[in-house]
Amino acid sequence: MATVTDTQHAPHSHGKPSGLSRWLTATNHKDIGTLYLWFSFAMFLSGGVMALCIRAELFHPGLQFFQPELFNQFTTLHGLIMVFGAIMPAFTGLANWLLPLMIGAPDMAFARMNNWSFWLLPPAALLLLASFAVPGGAAAAGWTLYAPLSTQMGMGMDMTIFAIHIMGISSIMGSINIIVTILNLRAPGMTLMKMPMFAWATLITAYLIIAVMPVLAGAVTMVLTDRHFGTHFFNAAGGGDPILYQHVFWFFGHPEVYIMALPAFGIISHVIPTFARKPLFGYTSMVYATSSIGILSFMVWAHHMFATGMPATAQLFFMYATMLIAVPTGVKVFNWIATMWEGSMTFETPMLFAIGFIMLFTIGGLSGVTLSVAAVDIALHASYYVVAHFHYVLVAGALFSLFAAIYYWFPKMTGKMYNERLGKVHFWWSLIWFNVTFFPMHFLGLAGMPRRIPDYALQFTTFNEIASVGAFFFGLGQLIFLYNMLVSIRRGEPAPQKPWEGADTLEWQIPTPAPYHSFAEAPELEVAENGAIRAMKGGKHH
């Protein structure tokens, strides 16, 4: 990112501002993308430390390090920080960095709003982290903030509610920016049905965010008024209903699951074709599968609530609707496998993470189908089986795809190559310790261990010990990634314009590192499916 390679001088060109003001007043999509990515990594580390506190406490039965109140705060804040602080901003950051490069736009559509979207996040994160220090501690109702727990706790809950409001506004503005950029700023020739899968995935994700983040904002606002202004939305005594909270929350919560999964699908749809040196199999079906997952995600929310005593008819509806999602998801998985079929594959770090993603995400998907069976779910509800399930789709799913993306686009972002050997160590280390951590949780859940408890019955000891050891090694391995990034940004080998032989989307047609002002003039493109560039004319950078 350090040098401007192209010196063509446009009349209104301006250089990079320097120092702190470059970041505080950033309007350049690459700077803002970089801010998002570092912010989400910092949140990933702080949420990770909380996870390790949880695993340390669960290493043995009985209470070792933390009182149950603090333990509950850790589980709650770990979830909130990872979902709203790490995964969602990381995907927004990637979208900021890559979308304009992929579709030939000069920048995001609303540069100043983009700045605001990002700078709302640090105050929200501070609110969450500072809530540990207030009387009563941080929110401890679980990341879902279920009423009536959330209508009772101390001011840590109010801080959490405001943090959610702020992060919600941030992600809605980020999404508006993404949608307007994709719909209005594509270069001539880049039609919607030729557009790269990552652009498609972030487009649909952005629509989901605009549709459901306001619903979450509504739900927590009702909690807030129940807490302080005498309303009874969720108070049974006053004529309200705590189950209503669950309905409103999961109307947001299930699309949220796909908000964290669809961009991952988009990334994998770039990495797999590149390293298989074949075009993505079934591009059109990928687009439709992504859209149908987005639409179906609004019709399945009550599968999180099978244990609330719903009528059997409703349980059946939500059970079958949930199972239906396996169809478009299966289309995607089989398309990726078909893309690899008879490809000339090489296994650089991004490809390793992508293949690891496919394998482990599929395991998480299968345990999801298991949980969708209402009769089974009543036994497994709120058990460690659920914890195992969503960590397979969020850690091995979303997080692995993010690692794949960072390694894959690192050369274009920084102009340097990362250390391939350390990257591979990072992958195998993460793969092994991830499974050591989370696979035993399936057994714990099947044996009846409930989630969100600081203490457990003796028969669960061995699997908990294995999981805790795995978690600490998994956490340690992420420092390899940090070290690799820091060293490679400074002293990595210079990267060529196209470091990956099979890469064919637009961002690989411009110099490396990507010029500060890329596509100041829109290029004329001839594009094949999945954004593969056949020919490019024009397009100025400076």
Partner 1 sequence: MESSQHSVNLVLLKKLAIIALVMFGFAWALVPMYRVICEATGLNQIAVADAAPMQAGAAGAQIEMTFDSMVQAGLPWRVRPLTSHLKVKTGEFIRVDYEITNASDRRMVGQAVPRYLPAAAGEYVKKLDCFCFKQQSFEPGQTKRFPVVFVVDPKMPRDISTITLAYSIFEVPGQGGL
Interacting residues toward partner 1 by CB under 8 A: 106, 109-110, 172, 175-176, 179-180, 183-185, 210-219, 222, 230, 232-233, 235-239, 241, 243-244, 247-248, 251, 309, 311
Nearer to partner 1, 233 or 400 (CB): 233
Beta bridge partners of residue 524, listed in sequence order: 537
Nearest to 168 by CA among 113, 134, 214, 221: 214
Is 372 catalytic? The answer is: no
Nearer to partner 1, 208 or 503 (CB): 208
Is 336 catalytic? The answer is: no
Annotated active-site residue in 269, 290, 414, 430 = 269
Assess contact for 143 and 390: CB atoms under 8 A. Answer: no
Is 40 catalytic? The answer is: no
Q: What does the alpha-carbon distance between residue 536 and residue 173 come to, in Å, rounded to a whole number?
A: 32
Is 451 catalytic? The answer is: yes
Q: Which two tokens stand for residue 34?
A: 């970089």
Q: Return the SS3 of 406.
A: helix
Nearer to partner 1, 107 or 507 (CB): 107
Annotated active-site residue in 92, 131, 171, 297 = 171
Annotated active-site residue in 270, 304, 381, 412 = 304
Q: Which residues contact 286 (CB under 8 A, 6 or more apart)?
A: 197, 200, 269, 280, 331, 332, 335
Nearer to partner 1, 303 or 332 (CB): 303
Q: Smallest distance, Å, CB 219 to partner 1? A: 6
Annotated active-site residue in 76, 92, 160, 170 = 170
Alpha-helix runs per DSSP H in 67-154: 68-80, 88-103, 111-119, 121-130
Is 158 catalytic? The answer is: no
Q: For the CA atoms of the chain, what is the radius of gyration?
A: 23
Q: What does the alpha-carbon distance between residue 411 and residue 513 come to, in Å, rounded to a whole number?
A: 7
Q: Smallest distance, Å, CB 7 to partner 1? A: 22
Q: Smallest distance, Å, CB 127 to partner 1? A: 21
Is 344 catalytic? The answer is: no
Q: Smallest distance, Å, CB 136 to partner 1? A: 14
Nearer to partner 1, 13 or 235 (CB): 235
Nearest to 332 by CA among 298, 287, 279, 389: 287
Annotated active-site residue in 60, 247, 451, 542 = 451
Nearer to partner 1, 222 or 402 (CB): 222
Q: Which two tokens stand for residue 247?
A: 């309905």
Is 7 catalytic? The answer is: no
Q: Smallest distance, Å, CB 468 to partner 1? A: 32
Is 171 catalytic? The answer is: yes
Beta bridge partners of residue 416, listed in sequence order: 494
Q: What does the alpha-carbon distance between residue 294 and residue 200 come to, in Å, rounded to a whole number?
A: 11
Is 429 catalytic? The answer is: no
Q: Smallest distance, Å, CB 267 to partner 1? A: 24
Annotated active-site residue in 97, 143, 407, 408 = 143
Q: What are phi and psi of 518, to 5 degrees?
A: -90, 150
Residues in the chain: 542
Is 258 catalytic? The answer is: yes
Torsion of CA 80, 82, 83, 85, to 10 degrees: 90
**What is the DSSP-derived secondary structure letter of residue 494?**
B
Is 278 catalytic? The answer is: no
Assess contact for 226 and 240: CB atoms under 8 A. Answer: yes
Q: Smallest distance, Å, CB 216 to partner 1? A: 8
Nearer to partner 1, 220 or 388 (CB): 220
Q: Which residues contact 534 (CB under 8 A, 6 or more apart)?
A: 526, 527, 528
Is 78 catalytic? The answer is: yes
Is 170 catalytic? The answer is: yes
Residue with tokens 């990381």: 90
- Residues annotated as catalytic are 78, 107, 143, 170-171, 254, 256, 258, 269, 303-304, 329, 332, 451
